[in-house]
Chains A and B, each alone.
Chain A
């Protein structure tokens, strides 16, 4: 019997979704990194640009959803194709959230004003881990690396621990500070801005983990083992 390996109509749609997803990956990575750099420099001039990127990511997420539904309705995909399409909807959401949180980070800078004298060590430490996680999740997506999920969860544990440590520190100050209005004003601004940004980074970390889960599901057809 002759067995021919056909090019399917479905493949055109799948390739299109794949391309959008990879474009979203690059854009969301750029967006998060730019927002972290803004924090490092203490400037929010890039806010308008990041907002545009965030909006683009949202529109691309909608495009992925629409295309996915169309492929399911038209071609009734099964097996790996179906898992891939379903996962792309979840992954697209994750990348759109990256964009949104990037905007939120820059918005904090604008709202809080100058933070040039604030201690940025926690944010910078967490942002380094989050950057690695973003790159790892994108690489996992490209290479369908099902083992990435486990690594991402380990890194997420580090992020969570750092967040909890910071929260603990600010609600249990170690030194007796003289409470001047000026000092209080500055401290509050630093604490609140850092807390908010750490929270957004922690959420980005969670979504990177979810992307790892989706890659695991595409590759194996089963849910990622619980951490």
Chain B
């Protein structure tokens, strides 16, 4: 399934600027992270992260608890700085533009980079339809037909349309856990993001629901770049094309998932993915 590209009024995506870093070309990489550091107060949680994320693939970020995985993806969509006393330093280049540049509006970044969280969080007082349409309405879209079309396409892309098409007015929280998570994905997709961040999207779900989310990731990456944080090694091996292993705030190893799981270069990576520590 693909998301139809609709004209959505006042929302416009920044023009891609030419990238002037010598180490990567924008044509191949959607996101280029250079020398990224992050802190919560005085506690440093990310240490000099350098990472190149390719377009239209799924990248998994793995590592033990507390290694900085969630902080990293929250730095990617500028959610990290919303926490009191939290700060980040470095560059995160999206299509050649540093999202931490003073000229860049963080709200625009959050539109272009959607996020799905560990615990499904549909808006509790809204219907299924309104959950998906919320972002559109907040951005000034009033055309009912346009909203209807985008809601349907988003729910189709999230593999939820067939299950809810006859009850769009029912509350979002009335769905099962797996359906709620797909509703949250549809809500993110409605904004036509270029990147979708997923923070342990299936850890609260049963195996069948998890499996549907994994299939969804596989189908969505035709249209999006997906970055997923997961504690589940087997899931990372199943869904991702590239895998990044983090430990104590540092990026230890990054490469094609096949290579990471069959023949990791770093002994620490080998020990972690083999379950010898964690």
Contacts and interface: CB of A to CB of B under 8 A. Distances in A.
The prevalent SS among residues of B at the interface is loop
Contact of B264 (A5, A8, A79): A79
B5 interface: no
A179 interface: no
Given A1-B64, A221-B262, A80 B275 contact: no
Contacts of A29: none
B277 A6 contact: yes
Nearest to B233: A78
Contacts of A82: 261-262
Given A1-B64, A221-B263, A80 B274 contact: yes
Contacts of B233: 76, 78
Interface of A: 1, 3-6, 8, 10, 76-83, 220-222
Nearest to B270: A79
B64 A222 contact: no
Contacts of B270: 79-80
Contacts of A6: 275-278
Nearest to B278: A6
Contact of B261 (A3, A78, A220, A222): A78
Contacts of B248: 1
Contacts, number: 43
B23 interface: no
B125 interface: no
A218 to B, nearest CB: 11
A83 B64 CA distance: 24
B20 interface: no
Interface string B243-278: 000001000000000000111100000100111111
Given A6-B277, A77-B274, A221-B263, 17 more contacts: A1-B248, A5-B277, A6-B276, A8-B274, A10-B275, A76-B233, A78-B233, A78-B262, A78-B273, A79-B263, A79-B270, A79-B273, A80-B270, A82-B261, A83-B263, A221-B262, A222-B263
A124 B231 CA distance: 59
29 contacts: A1-B64, A1-B66, A1-B248, A3-B277, A4-B277, A5-B277, A6-B275, A6-B276, A6-B278, A8-B274, A10-B275, A76-B234, A77-B274, A78-B237, A78-B261, A78-B262, A79-B261, A79-B262, A79-B263, A79-B270, A79-B273, A79-B274, A80-B270, A81-B274, A82-B262, A83-B262, A220-B263, A221-B262, A222-B263
Nearest to B275: A8
B274 A5 contact: no
Nearest to A2: B277
A225 B159 CA distance: 47
Nearest to A82: B262
Contacts of B273: 78-79
Nearest to B268: A3
Contacts of A5: 276-277
A80 B267 CA distance: 11
A78 B270 CA distance: 8
